[in-house]
Amino acid sequence: MTRQFHDIRAGAAAALLVLVSSFAPLPVLAQAAAPAEPGVGNYPVNAGDVLEVLVWKEENLQKQVVVRPDGYFSFPLTGDVRAEGRTITAISEDITAQIARYIPDPVVSVAIFEPRGSKVYVIGQVNRPGEFPINRYVDVIQALAMAGGTTPFAKLDNIQILRREGTTQTATTFAYGDIAAGKRLQQNIVLKPGDTVLVP
Number of domains within the chain: 2
Please indicate, yes or no, whether residues 108 and 135 belong to a single structural domain of this protein. no
Q: What are the beta bridge partners of residue 168?
A: 165
> Angle at Cα 147 formed by Cα 156 and Cα 134, nearest 5°?
115
Q: Of 114, 131, 166, which closes a domain? A: 114
Within-domain flag for 126 = yes
The residues pairing with 120 across neighbouring beta strands, listed in sequence order, are 132
**Domain's final residue, options 98, 114, 130:** 114
DSSP string of 45-110?
Answer: P-TT-EEEEEETT-GGGEEEEE--TTSEEEETTTEEEE-TT--HHHHHHHHHHHHTTTSSS--EEE
Say if 29 falls within a structural domain: no
Per-residue model confidence as pLDDT tens for the chain (200 residues)? 445 444 445 454 444 444 334 433 433 323 333 333 334 457 889 999 999 999 999 999 999 999 999 999 999 999 999 999 999 999 999 999 999 999 999 999 999 998 888 899 999 999 999 999 887 789 999 999 999 999 999 999 999 999 988 789 999 999 999 999 999 999 999 999 899 999 99
CATH code for the domain in which residue 184 is found:
3.10.560.10
Same domain, yes or no: 126 and 194 = yes
Separation of alpha carbons 40 and 56, rounded Å:
21
User: What's the start-to-end Cα distance of the chain, in Å?
Assistant: 92
Last residue of a domain, one of 85, 114, 143: 114
